[in-house]
């Protein structure tokens, strides 16, 4: 689906290329499964019962040099835990209601989901310039970024409701890149990663590793000019992930743009004249692929199904 501002993309190429370039310190079918209202999503509130299917908590802990104000969503079911745990990494706007909504949706599926806060103190960007600055500072110090991610992972696996042998991470936009870097780094204890409309920015791990252990799926927005105006970006990503023998599946979404899973993407795109747009059909498909990926990820040995990349 193309937004009303899409014909203007040619005139925005300079801005697109500027935003798509590595930041300081970086290397070169129907309605949604759970329809999201337009505008800001509304996350759950503390408490919860079997009827809602989840409960939530505001959680605070030290993560590298920051204090994370994260959000934890837990299943409320008749089936006793522990449950598989999932980190949810937000777009470059930071820890907002959207990433919390996704955590709630995962909890309703029976997972413990931690919506991460990588900027610290729940910090959010309200314009692209601030988002570029915050994201650039995060990605420009890989050691600190890894420390923050690892602290979230450690918090999640330490929860008594979580099965520490079943851990995955998902991310949106820039948060997808964070998850992909986790996989590229061979982060211990991470079984799988799913990235939605990422920018495909990863770099070699330090120290080097021989083989990545996490299975990876990427939902690639093929109308995303941040990615596809740069020739060879996806191919370079494949090569980098292949260098550590990553089990990688890239699923093309031919009519999708950046932020195609985010219901208010059109509003922000038009306000700031940046190329992003929601696509309900693509969102539904991507969420279905995520559910299948997670179910397949933890099947008993010998029962894994074939990867779907239609």
Question: Cα separation of 149 and 114, whole Å?
Answer: 11
Each residue's pLDDT, cut to its tens digit, for the chain (310 residues) gives: 444 433 444 334 334 434 444 333 333 333 344 544 333 334 544 445 556 799 999 999 999 999 999 999 999 988 888 999 999 999 999 999 999 999 999 999 999 999 999 999 999 999 999 999 999 999 999 999 999 999 999 999 999 999 999 999 999 999 999 999 999 999 999 999 999 999 999 999 989 999 999 999 999 999 999 999 999 999 999 999 999 999 999 999 999 999 999 999 999 999 999 999 999 999 999 999 999 999 999 987 655 444 444 3
pLDDT value for 301: 63
pTM: 0.85
Exposed e or buried b for every residue in 131-150, given b needs 16+ CB within 10 A?
A: bbebbbebbeebebbbebbb
Supply angle C-alpha 177, 290, 29, rounded to 5.
115
User: DSSP characters for 118-159?
Assistant: SSSTT-B-SSHHHHHHHHHHHHH-HHHHHHHHHHHHHHHHHS
Per the CB < 8 A criterion, the answer to whether 90 and 132 are in contact is no
CA pair distance 162, 217, nearest whole angstrom: 23
- Rounded to an integer, what distance in angstroms lies between the CA atom of residue 291 and that of residue 232? 30
Q: Is 179 exposed, middle or buried (0-12, 13-18, 19+ CB in 10 A)?
A: buried
CA dihedral of residues 175, 273, 262, 258 (deg, nearest 10): -60
CB within 8 A of 221, min separation 6: which ones?
A: 197, 227, 253, 256, 257, 258, 260, 282
Closest CA to 193 of 220, 218, 173: 218
Q: So where are the chain's domains?
A: 6-297
What is the homologous superfamily of the domain 6-297 according to CATH?
A: Alpha/Beta hydrolase fold, catalytic domain (3.40.50.1820)
């Amino acid at each position: 689906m193309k937004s009303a501002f899409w014909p203007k993309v040619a005139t925005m190429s300079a801005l697109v290329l500027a935003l798509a370039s590595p930041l300081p310190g970086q290397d070169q079918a129907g309605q949604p499964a759970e329809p999201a209202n337009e505008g800001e999503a509304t996350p759950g509130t503390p408490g919860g019962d079997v009827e809602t299917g989840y409960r939530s908590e505001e959680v605070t802990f030290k993560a590298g040099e920051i204090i994370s104000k994260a959000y934890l969503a837990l299943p409320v079911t008749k089936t006793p835990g522990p449950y598989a745990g999932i980190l949810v990494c937000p777009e470059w706007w930071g820890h907002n209601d959207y990433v919390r909504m996704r955590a709630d949706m995962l909890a309703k599926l029976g997972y413990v989901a931690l919506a991460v806060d990588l900027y610290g103190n729940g910090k959010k960007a309200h314009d692209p310039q601030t988002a570029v600055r915050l994201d650039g500072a995060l990605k420009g110090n890989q050691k600190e970024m890894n420390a923050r991610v690892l602290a979230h992972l450690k918090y999640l696996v330490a929860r008594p409701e979580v099965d520490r042998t079943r851990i995955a991470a998902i991310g949106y936009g820039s948060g997808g890149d964070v998850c992909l870097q986790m996989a590229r780094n061979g982060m211990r204890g991470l079984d799988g990663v799913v990235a939605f409309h990422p920018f495909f920015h990863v770099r070699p791990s330090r120290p080097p590793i021989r083989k990545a252990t996490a299975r990876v799926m990427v939902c690639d927005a093929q109308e995303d000019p941040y990615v596809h105006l740069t020739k060879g970006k996806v191919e370079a990503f494949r090569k980098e992930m292949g260098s550590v023998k990553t089990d990688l599946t890239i699923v093309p979404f031919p009519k999708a743009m950046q932020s195609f899973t985010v219901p208010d993407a059109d509003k922000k795109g038009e306000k700031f004249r940046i190329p992003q747009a929601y696509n309900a059909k693509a969102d539904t498909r991507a969420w279905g692929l995520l559910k299948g990926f997670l179910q397949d990820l933890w099947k008993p040995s010998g029962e894994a199904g074939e990867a779907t990349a239609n």
